[in-house]
Amino acid sequence: MPTYRDEAVILRTHKLGEADRIVIMLSRRHGKIRAVAKGVRRTSSKFGSRLEPFMVADVQLYQGRSLDIVQQAESLGAYGSEIAVHYDRYTAASAMVETADRLSDSEATSDQYLLLVGGLRALSRGEHVPRSILDSYLLRVMALSGWAPSFDDCARCGTPGPHTTFVAQLGGVVCSQCAPAGSPRVAEKTLELLRSLLRGDWDAVDAASVAETSAASGLVGAYAQWHLERGIRSLAHVIDQSGEAR
Ligand SMILES: [Zn+2]
């Protein structure tokens, strides 16, 4: 019987039949996994609570023909409860798992797994403003997939920066020659914050003002929505409550 073991973040679940659940996970070594967890919706289930969104678990799976079957699950990070009781953490975490769920099989690498686990852990511990954790996560997800925005040289022609016009559709900052007429300007402080979010320079991120954080979030959101094509549903919630995230 082909079984395998891996670490995985639970991205989402849905009900199957009376007592079972389908669990979609991003794993460390096996990319995205869709598996059935049998009997987890019964109160006697030993591992049901370990297979909820935002949880990190060590799972053992049996390889099925279309869906794998969860045989065991041990908790590695019970981040769900600390995230769920704070609305701003919850909306940020929801956008993060939804983004991870969008990754194609070839993009679902162990680096993506580690990035998501780190982001969820930081959210559950309240280490930084939830929205900044999300923004940093989104920028780095895109960087890992080869879509890093440019914050220095012109994204279109490569002319060395600094440039002060950011156009999401063109891939980041653009020079005055490449900028479409009427493009809004971006403050240098906002660009600095965006670079810090991409690098994970948390001292600089934590020191940013609410206005800078909000301005950077707007650009990250526009860029992420453009580049993830269909737009992230959960991100719309986060953008809607702009200014309230702190
Ligand atoms: Zn240019």
Domain ranges of the chain: 3-79, 86-237
- Neighbouring-strand partners of residue 172: 150, 167
Output the CA 153–ligand 1 centroid distance in Å. 8
pLDDT at 129 over 70: yes
Peptide bond into 162 cis (omega under 30): yes
Q: For the chain, where are the E strands, in sequence order?
A: 3-16, 20-27, 32-37, 56-62, 68-77, 165-167, 172-174
What mean pLDDT comes out for the span 176-199? 94
Is 130's pLDDT higher than 80? Answer: yes
User: Could you list which residues have their CB under 5 Å from ion ligand 1?
Assistant: 154, 156-157, 159, 175, 178
Alpha helices in 7-55 (DSSP H): none
The CATH number of 86-237 is 1.20.1440.120
The overall average pLDDT reported for the chain is: 90
Q: Please report the pLDDT score of residue 244 as a whole number.
A: 42
Query: What are the tens digits of pLDDT across the range 209-235?
Result: 999 999 999 999 989 888 776 555 566
Which residue from 225, 216, 202, 204 is spatially nearest to 245, judged by alpha carbons? Answer: 216
How far, in Å, is the centroid of ligand 1 from the Cα of 154? 5
Residue 27 CA, ligand 1 centroid: distance in Å = 39
Say whether 58 sits in a helix, a strand or coil.
strand
E strands, 78-227, in order: 165-167, 172-174
- 242/246 Cα distance (integer angstroms): 9
Exposure on the CB side of residue 82, measured as CA atoms within 13 A: 13
Which CATH homologous superfamily contains domain 3-79?
Nucleic acid-binding proteins (2.40.50.140)
Rounded to the nearest angstrom, the distance between the alpha carbon of 212 and the centre of ligand 1 is 25
In three-state secondary structure terms, 153 is coil
Distance CA 161, CA 168 (A): 17
For ligand 1, the distance from its centroid to the CA atom of residue 173, given in whole angstroms, is: 9
What's the gap in Å between 246 CA and the centre of ligand 1? 35
- pLDDT, residue 137, reads 97
- pTM (2 d.p.): 0.90
Contact 23, 70 (CB under 8 A): yes
Q: How far is the CA of 228 from the centre of ligand 1 (A)?
A: 23
At residue 145, does pLDDT exceed 90? Answer: no
